[in-house]
Amino acid sequence: MTGDKSSATSQHMDKRRSTFSGKLGYVLAVAGSAVGLGNIWRFPYLAAKYGGGIFLLTYLILMLTFGYALIVSETALGRMTKRSPVGAFQTFGKKMPFKFGGWVNAVIPMLIVPYYSVIGGWVIKYLSEYLRGNTQILARDDYFTGFISDGFGVELWFLAFSLIVVVVLFAGVKHGVERVSKVMMPLLVILAVFVAGYSMTRPGALEGVKYFLIPNFENFSWMTVVAAMGQMFYSLSIAMGILYTYGSYMKKDVDIEKSTTQVEIFDTAIAMLAGLMIIPAVFAFSGGDPDTLQAGPSLMFITIPKVFASMGFGTGAGIMFFLLVLLAALTSAISLAESGVSTFEDQLGIGRHKATILMGVIMILFGSASALGFGVLDFVSVLGMSILDFFDFLTNSLMMPIAALATCLLVTHVAGLNRVIEEVEQSSEFKRKKLYCFFMKYLAPICIVIILLSSIANVFGWITM
Ligand code: PHE
């Protein structure tokens, strides 16, 4: 690459922009950012909670339609305007709606990275326990609950994770991290295939495989759609300004349609592998216990240790697994934080160091609240949710739909579908052009209205998550 996304994002917008060197460079960079805790930690627990196969089906449909159209739009707008979101929106107008549209996209990563780092901290903690050989202890039923209610312990691990992120941003050694992660990603896939194979062949696990893969319409609820849509945004890094920025570094000859498809396939394959590791294990080790299926954010930390404790070389597998997840989490967290830093640099006109410090402060403030929310702050409940869950809900179920709506309106009412189509056609034929227009004009706004109304209804307790 002639300066990959990491060096590129750190540059001011008006200097000569670096570009990804080619098609592979672009796909790898986007996939590196897309694959993270969203795939391995978040997807399986949502699938377990919101109906298994029916969640998966809803997710796949949304991804191939709505998600696809949004990725293409964001990337094309980024490449057309050569700006990250705030600038991209302002290219079309300086008034309030444009400012708002850009900012809502830009603020989301700043709100995600703090709580993302809390989960990153949990991963480091588990890695350190495996390194000390505590494989059996980690598999105990109450281990995880005990760990997170010790708020200060969680806080320390969270700070450790955040420190790595901030140091990497300061030192500007993102290339190094990304190079390592390009080697580690394939390893993660191999290990995941192996663990999924092991987990699926445990006695009783088949029920879990069925639960995850075969849609059962009885399990369907509106919240399945809401959760699947939020997850789709999260996992594919849509509706948070990231793809505008990446698009702006993309050369004119990269096929937007094809690279979108490749990123979607890769990202979904990893999420499904994680589902096949975790959900069958819930059935094998907890007999499909409804409480465990509903465990939410803690699911990965409850079932995966049981899998490792039951197998030979469990400690080695545990070390490998949590190390690889840690890397995937770090690269994603770095790209989230980097997006915040470059927004600050560009919009506040401050230097890189100051911008990094500002991002670090935001991470520590919001992240600490999330980390302590299960311990000393466990009396705090926002709309009936823990602080971490609240941040997750706020960004995924409320802000991202609004950001997506802003992008839709920008495309359909301001820039015009034709300009986006022209942009895509600069590099290749736009095969799914008609579908794209249909998705943007009708499907996307409908989906967004559904998700927003359901989220609001959920806040007021009319429906439950
Ligand atoms: N998509 C990442 C994940 O699945 C999260 C992320 C979003 C990372 C946006 C970077 C930018 O974990």
Q: Which residue's CA lies nearest to atom 2 of ligand 1?
A: 34
Residue 301: per-residue pLDDT: 95
How many Cβ atoms sit within 10 Å of the Cβ of residue 277?
26
Residue 95: per-residue pLDDT: 79
State whether the beta carbon of 395 lies less than 6 angstroms from ligand 1: no
State whether the beta carbon of 268 lies less than 6 angstroms from ligand 1: no
Question: What's phi and psi for 374, nearest 5 deg?
Answer: -95, -10
Question: Is residue 19 situated within a structural domain?
Answer: no
Cα 120 to ligand 1 centroid, rounded to whole Å? 12
Q: What is the pLDDT along the chain (465 residues), one digit of tens a residue?
A: 334 444 444 444 444 565 666 667 778 778 878 899 999 999 999 999 999 999 999 999 999 999 999 999 999 999 999 888 888 898 888 877 888 899 999 999 999 999 999 999 999 999 999 999 999 999 998 899 999 888 788 999 999 999 999 998 888 766 666 677 677 778 888 988 999 999 999 999 999 999 999 999 999 988 898 889 989 999 999 988 888 888 888 888 889 999 999 999 999 999 999 999 999 999 999 888 888 889 888 899 999 999 999 988 899 999 989 998 998 899 889 889 988 888 898 889 898 899 999 999 999 999 999 999 887 777 877 777 889 888 988 998 889 999 999 999 999 988 889 999 999 998 888 888 899 999 999 989 988 888 888 888 877 777 665
State whether the beta carbon of 165 lies less than 6 angstroms from ligand 1: no
Question: Is residue 3 situated within a structural domain?
Answer: no
State whether the beta carbon of 396 lies less than 6 angstroms from ligand 1: no
Residue 15: per-residue pLDDT: 45
Test site for ligand 1: of 39, 117, 235, most ligand atoms within 8 A of the Cβ: 235
Question: Is residue 394 situated within a structural domain?
Answer: yes
Calpha distance 436→434 (Å, rounded)? 5
pTM of this prediction? 0.88
Residue 103: per-residue pLDDT: 92
Test site for ligand 1: of 234, 331, 338, 341, most ligand atoms within 8 A of the Cβ: 234
Atom of ligand 1 minimally distant from the CA of 240? 9
| CATH number for position 197 | 1.10.4160
**How does DSSP classify residue 374?**
T
Calpha distance 359→351 (Å, rounded)? 12
Residue 8: per-residue pLDDT: 42
Atom of ligand 1 minimally distant from the CA of 328? 12
**How does DSSP classify residue 395?**
I
Q: Helices 23-34 & 314-348, crossing angle to 10 degrees?
A: 110
State whether the beta carbon of 36 lies less than 6 angstroms from ligand 1: yes
Residues 6+ apart with CB under 8 A from 310: 139, 202, 285
Q: Which residue has the tokens 């700070």?
A: 159
State whether the beta carbon of 235 lies less than 6 angstroms from ligand 1: yes
Write the DSSP assignment of 91-147 as a string of letters.
Answer: HH--SHHHHHHHHHHHHHHHHHHHHHHHHHHHHHHHHHHHHTT-HHHHTSTTHHHHH
Q: Which helix (H) or strand (E) holds 437?
A: helix 433-438
Residue 264: per-residue pLDDT: 94
Question: Is residue 363 situated within a structural domain?
Answer: yes
Question: Is residue 4 situated within a structural domain?
Answer: no
State whether the beta carbon of 400 lies less than 6 angstroms from ligand 1: no
Question: What's phi and psi for 373, nearest 5 deg?
Answer: -65, -20
Test site for ligand 1: of 40, 245, 336, 341, most ligand atoms within 8 A of the Cβ: 336
Calpha distance 365→368 (Å, rounded)? 5
Residues 356 and 170 sit within 8 Å (Cβ to Cβ): yes
Atom of ligand 1 minimally distant from the CA of 109? 9
Q: Which residue has the tokens 């490449």?
A: 79
> How many CA atoms within 13 Å lie on the side-chain side of 223?
18
Residues 378 and 386 sit within 8 Å (Cβ to Cβ): yes
Question: Is residue 82 situated within a structural domain?
Answer: yes
| Domains contained in the chain, number | 1
Question: Is residue 79 situated within a structural domain?
Answer: yes
State whether the beta carbon of 58 lies less than 6 angstroms from ligand 1: no
437: containing domain = 33-459
CA 196 → CA 275, 277, 279, distances in Å? 8, 4, 10
State whether the beta carbon of 138 lies less than 6 angstroms from ligand 1: no
Question: Is residue 50 situated within a structural domain?
Answer: yes
**How does DSSP classify residue 51?**
T
